[in-house]
Each structure stands twice: as C-alpha cells, then as structure tokens.
C-alpha cells in the first residue's frame, strides 16, 4: 500500500553564500569563519543531494526509512557542530569586544576631565557674564515680585539695559500704587457694604425678634383661649353629664315610683279583692250566723219556754260562745278581733255565773 504524503525537499546551499557573508570582514576574521563553516557548507551540499535521493512512499520501505534516520542523525551532528563553532567564534569576538570597550573607557576617563577643565578655561568670560546676567535677572525679578508684578511678563530681564529697566520699574511702582489705591478703595467699599449688611442684619434680627415675640404672644393668647375653651367645654361636658345623670336618676326615680305606684295599685287591688272576698265571706258567715242565731233563738225560745231560768242563762252563754266573730283586715284588725273574742268569752262566763247564782 502506498500513501502519498506531502514533503519538502531541502534546497542545496548556495555556493557563494560564505563568500558573500565574509566580504566586508578583515582577512583574519574572514579566514577563521571560512575555516569554521566552509567544510560544513560542503557537507550541507552533500547531504542535500543525498536527502533528495531518499524518497519514502510506502510503509514497506524499511531500508529507506532506516537510511533516512541515519542520515538525519548525521545532519543533526553537523548542525550541532555549526552551533558549537558559532559559540566558539562568538566567545572570542565577545572577549575582544570587551577588551576594546575597556581600553576605550579607560582613555575616556583620562581625557574627559582634561577636556572639561580646558572648556572651563576657554569659557570663563562667557560664564562670568552669564552669572552676572543671571544674578541681575534674579534681583530684578525679586524687585518686580515685591511690587506685585509678575516677572514672567518681561523677557530677558538680565540683558535689559538700565534705562529700559528703570522704565519697567517705574511702571511696576505705578501699577503697585494704583493697585494699592484700588485695594484701599475696594476695602472701603467692602467695609461700607459690610456696615450696611450688618445694619440690615441687625434690622432683620430685630424684626425677626419682634415677629417672634408677636408669635409667642399670639401662641400664648391662643393657648389661654384654648385652655378657656377647653375648660368651658369640660364644664359644659360635666354639666351635660350631671344633667344626664340627674335625668337618668329622675327617670330611674320615676320608673321606681311608677313601679311602686303600680305595686301599690296592685296591692290595693289585691287588698280590695281580699276585702271584698272577706266581706263576702263575712257576709256569708254573718248570714250563716244570723241563721244559726235565729235557729238558736228559736231553740232557746222553745227551750226557755220549757226550761227554768238557770238553764236559760246557760243556753244563752253557750249561744254567746257560738257567735261568729268577723275577720278584721285593717292594720289593727287582728288585735281588735282578739279583744272582741276575749270580751265575748268574758260576757258568756258572766252570764253562766249569773245563772249559777240564781
């Protein structure tokens, strides 16, 4: 079975590559590079040719794959040799560069102080003039600041001539005087405004205090009026409650009186009913007693006609004891009935005694 796999065949190295690389080098350096890399350039060309001859298109090509491995390892050794040669050459170049840099630094350290010293000697007059101008500029800037003027508004104060500077100084002094006068006037205006504002604040405070006092007085009067109204309302409420209580008591008393009157009426009606009943019973008893008396009288008369006086009195006494005594329902009725019974009994006993004495 054959499987097609895309491969990239190595390109052969150009024969003039090493010459082009070493063209601008010193002969000694170019020679060392050619000696280090020239044989490997030749080996690279040889392995490029050999590698192109190894073509694996099937998994059955064991020999070709083995040859490819052996060739790859040989090429790898050549590549490692290239890297080793590169490092070796670079190390000598680095050491040479360090030596060159060290020598240069030492010489610079020796020459630069001499150059600086000579430059100072060369520019002494210029530096002296620059220092004078710088000091003059600083003094003039300080003078302008003292007058309240910004020195940045003026250029080259250290190089300005005396006449121009005097004009600038007078202008700054005039500006300061005008500014101070303006500040004085502004301060006077400010103080006057503060005085007016203070007077207004005081007037406002007094007005506010007056309004506050009036408000407090109104609240006090309102509180007194509220208290009076509350007291009046409480008194009216108490009066209403008292009147309602009296009305309630009157109603209760009226209801009680009506109940008592109804009870009294009922009691009287009951008493009248009982009295009528008792009167009826008494009338009935009286009738019966009258009938009995009449019968007793007739019997007594018959007996009297037939019996002696002693027996007549004895019968009369018995008739007295047999008389019915009516029930009395008034408040003193029971006591009166008791006395009546006692008197009837005494009278009957007296009659019997008189009969015995005959």
Question: Distance between CA atoms of 296 and 318, rounded to whole angstroms?
Answer: 10
Instruction: Supply the mean pLDDT for the chain.
Output: 80
pLDDT of 14:
46
Q: What is the pLDDT of residue 58?
A: 87
- For residue 329, what is the DSSP state? -
161 inside domain = no
Q: What is the pLDDT of residue 15?
A: 46
- pLDDT tens across 133-159, in order? 788 878 877 887 887 877 787 777 777
178 found inside a domain: no
Q: Could you tell me if residue 292 is inside a domain?
A: no
Q: 188-197: list long-range contacts, CB under 8 Å, 24+ apart.
A: none
Which tens digit of pLDDT belongs to each residue from 291-344? 777 776 776 666 555 456 777 778 888 887 787 777 777 788 788 888 888 888
Give me 243's structure tokens. Answer: 């009147």
Q: Does residue 278 fall inside a structural domain?
A: no
The confidence score (pLDDT) of residue 178 equals 84
SS3 130: helix
Q: What is the pLDDT of residue 6?
A: 41
Specify whether the CB–CB gap between 328 and 337 falls below 8 A. Answer: yes
> Is residue 332 classed as helix, strand or coil in its secondary structure?
coil
Q: Which of 84, 103, 122 is the last residue of a domain?
A: 122
| Residue 297, C-beta contacts closer than 8 angstroms, at least 6 positions apart | 319
Contact 148, 175 (CB under 8 A): yes
CA angle 196, 197, 202 (to 5 degrees): 95
**Domain tally, the chain:** 2
Question: What confidence score (pLDDT) does residue 146 get?
Answer: 84
Which domain, by its residues, includes 78? 17-122
Last residue of a domain, one of 71, 90, 122: 122
Residues 6 or more apart whose Cβ sits within 8 Å of residue 132: 158
Domain membership of residue 108 (yes or no) is yes
Sign of the CA dihedral running 196, 202, 206, 211: positive
Q: Which of 98, 122, 146 is the last residue of a domain?
A: 122
pLDDT at 219 over 80: yes
User: What percent of the chain has pLDDT above 70?
Assistant: 89
The number of beta carbons lying within 10 Å of the beta carbon of residue 256 is 11
What does the pLDDT read at residue 16?
Answer: 66
pLDDT of 4 over the 70 cut: no
Answer whether 0.85 is exceeded by the pTM.
no
Q: Return the pLDDT at 149.
A: 79
pLDDT in tens, 222-276: 998 888 888 888 888 888 888 888 888 888 888 888 888 888 888 887 877 877 7
């Amino acid at each position: 079975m054959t499987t097609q796999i895309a491969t990239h065949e190595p390109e052969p190295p150009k024969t003039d590559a090493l010459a082009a690389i070493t063209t601008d080098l010193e002969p000694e350096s170019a020679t060392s590079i050619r000696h280090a890399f020239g044989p490997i350039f030749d080996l690279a060309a040889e392995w490029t040719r050999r590698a192109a001859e190894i073509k694996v298109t099937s998994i059955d090509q064991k020999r070709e794959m083995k040859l490819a491995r052996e060739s790859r390892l040989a090429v790898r050794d050549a590549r490692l040799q290239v890297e080793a040669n590169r490092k070796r050459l670079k190390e000598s170049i680095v050491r040479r560069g360090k030596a060159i840099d060290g020598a240069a630094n030492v010489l610079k350290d020796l020459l630069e102080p001499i150059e600086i010293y000579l430059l100072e000697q060369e520019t002494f007059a210029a530096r002296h003039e620059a220092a004078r101008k710088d000091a003059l500029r600083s003094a003039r800037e300080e003078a302008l600041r003292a007058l309240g003027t910004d020195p940045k508004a003026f250029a080259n104060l250290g190089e300005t001539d005396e006449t121009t500077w005097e004009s600038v100084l007078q202008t700054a002094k005039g500006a300061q005087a005008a500014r101070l006068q303006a500040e004085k006037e502004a301060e006077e205006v400010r103080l006057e405004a503060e005085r007016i504002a203070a007077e207004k604040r005081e007037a406002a405070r007094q007005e506010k205090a007056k309004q506050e006092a009036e408000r407090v007085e109104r609240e006090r009067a309102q509180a007194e009026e509220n208290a009076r109204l509350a007291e009046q309302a409480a008194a009216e409420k108490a009066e209403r409650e008292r009147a309602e209580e009296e009305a309630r008591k009157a109603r209760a008393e009226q209801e009680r009186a009506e109940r008592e009157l109804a009870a009294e009426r009922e009691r009287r009606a009951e008493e009248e009913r009982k009295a009528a009943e008792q009167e009826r019973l008494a009338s009935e008893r009286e009738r019966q007693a009258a009938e009995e008396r009449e019968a007793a009288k007739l019997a007594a008369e018959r007996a009297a006609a037939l019996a002696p006086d002693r027996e007549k009195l004895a019968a009369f006494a018995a008739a007295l004891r047999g008389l019915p005594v009516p029930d009395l329902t008034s408040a003193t009725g029971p006591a009166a009935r008791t006395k009546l019974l006692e008197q009837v009994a005494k009278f009957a006993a007296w009659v019997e005694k008189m009969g015995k004495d005959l």
